[in-house]
Amino acid sequence: MRLKKLNIVNFKNIAEAEVVFCAGFNCFIGNNGVGKTNILDAIYQLSMCKSYFNLPDSQNIRHGEPFFVLQGKYEQKGEELDIYCGVKRGQKKIFKKNQKVYTKLSEHIGLLPLVMISPEDVTLIEGGSEERRRLIDHIICQCDRTYLHALIRYNRALSQRNALLKASAGRELDREALEIWDEQLIECGQEVQQKRLDFLEDFKEVFREYYELISAGKEKVSLHYCSSVKEGDLKKALKEAFERDRLLTYTTVGIHRDDISLEIEGYPVKKIGSQGQKKTFLIALKLAQYVWLYRMNRLKPMLLLDDIFDKLDAERVEQIIRIVGGDIFGQIFITDTNREHIDEMLRTQGKEYTLFRVEGGTLF
Ligand SMILES: Nc1ncnc2c1ncn2[C@@H]1O[C@H](COP(=O)(O)OP(=O)(O)OP(=O)(O)O)[C@@H](O)[C@H]1O
């Protein structure tokens, strides 16, 4: 799969652009704040129907303009695909595939697989457990529909249980209703947890392989599933936590509190990792995610690397370029501030590459 051409009108600081991409590395070079990330975000929108930065659509319209339009021409399995995304202030976003409007945006997600790595993703390492759960839930959901359904049912039961606990604060509790929600939590929770554990068994090996490749085997890393549910017995855990849950009026145990512990040399990377090690962790996690998407779709996702070289030493940067220059990776989009640096690195690897200079929202 490949994005051949991108047209942008009024997207963030880009008034107008038409860019033709090569099948290998496409690099956007320029100073801070010129619009390099905005181009990646435009590509992200066309795949995922929303901004990578979770901004409301209206904030992505160029200041003072009434609309933005993004159009991408893709080649996938020998076919051409035209994707259109248009947003007018105060109106619903319009998304089209080959001139046909989607009634549901969810029908589009997954068609153009993509993995983006951005400095914002450091929350995966430094943020709360929900960030890491979101990543693995997102990957498993894409490969396993039954997982998605179990997760939805679990979350529904959880919010009903919490509402019940809240409503009965200082009053008598409807124990029958609580039992109904507990049963659903136990059934779906155990399914979700088992699938997360099975997934992580394979995923952590791929992750470790990439980490070791990038760091040239200098550091030993691991991922572990940490559960708030002792011995995986949610029924027992809910019973034991009952008085506490009643007092706090929310559910304090369950798979919604589980976490993935990210460790370097046996210690939490969040606490002891250097900035470069955290970045390496993040990149290895995302490259492992890429491998999962690739295995599932048999399509090489697009890889978007936003400013990923900052804080990494030259060896690691070169190693990353070598890895993503390999056969398993397809089309790549990179932003960087230093032209010579990237030009030199790309010249020594096999894939074709194109450099674009970005200045004040204009591409040259
Ligand atoms: N809706 C908007 N309308 C006009 N300009 C916008 C809008 N949203 C963001 N911008 C501008 O886009 C610029 C940021 O662009 P971007 O994040 O792509 O920079 P960058 O080239 O990636 O920089 P860095 O190297 O610092 O990451 C800022 O100057 C910001 O003011």
C-beta pairs of 154-162 under 8 Å, 24+ apart in sequence: 154/184, 154/185, 154/188, 154/189, 154/192, 154/254, 154/255, 154/256, 155/256, 156/184, 157/181, 157/184, 157/185, 157/188, 158/185, 158/251, 158/254, 158/256, 161/185, 161/251, 162/249, 162/250, 162/251
**If you write DSSP's letter for every residue of 295-318 in order, what string do you get?**
HHHSS--EEEEESTTTT--HHHHH
From 13, 28, 54, 120, mutation site for ligand 1 pocket: most ligand atoms within 8 A of C-beta: 13
Cα angle value 140/146/152 (rounded, 5°): 85
250, 166 contact by CB (below 8 A)? yes
Give the C-alpha separation, 84 to 73, whole Å.
9
Q: Whose CA is nearest to atom 17 of ligand 1?
A: 37
Residues touching ligand 1 (Cβ under 6 Å) are 12-13, 30, 32-38, 59-63, 307, 335, 337
ipTM given for this complex: 0.98
Domain residue spans of the chain: 2-113+302-363, 126-269
Give the C-alpha separation, 182 to 109, whole Å.
33
pLDDT of the residue at 344: 84
User: What are the average pLDDT values for consecutive 10-residue runs of the chain, which has 364 residues?
Assistant: 97 97 96 97 96 94 98 96 97 96 90 94 95 93 87 96 94 93 96 95 96 94 92 92 96 96 95 95 97 90 94 92 94 90 84 95 93
**Which residue matches tokens 């992750």?**
207
pLDDT of the residue at 345: 85
Pick the CATH number of 2-113+302-363 from 1.20.120.330, 3.40.50.300, 3.40.30.10, 3.40.605.10: 3.40.50.300
Quote the pTM value. 0.92
Q: Whose CA is nearest to atom 9 of ligand 1?
A: 12
2-113+302-363 and 126-269 have identical folds: no
pLDDT of the residue at 171: 87
Which CATH superfamily is 126-269 part of?
RecF/RecN/SMC, N-terminal domain (1.20.1050.90)
Give Cα 71 distance to the centre of its chain. Answer: 22
pLDDT of the residue at 228: 85
Q: Tokens standing for 324?
A: 């993503």
27, 342 contact by CB (below 8 A)? yes
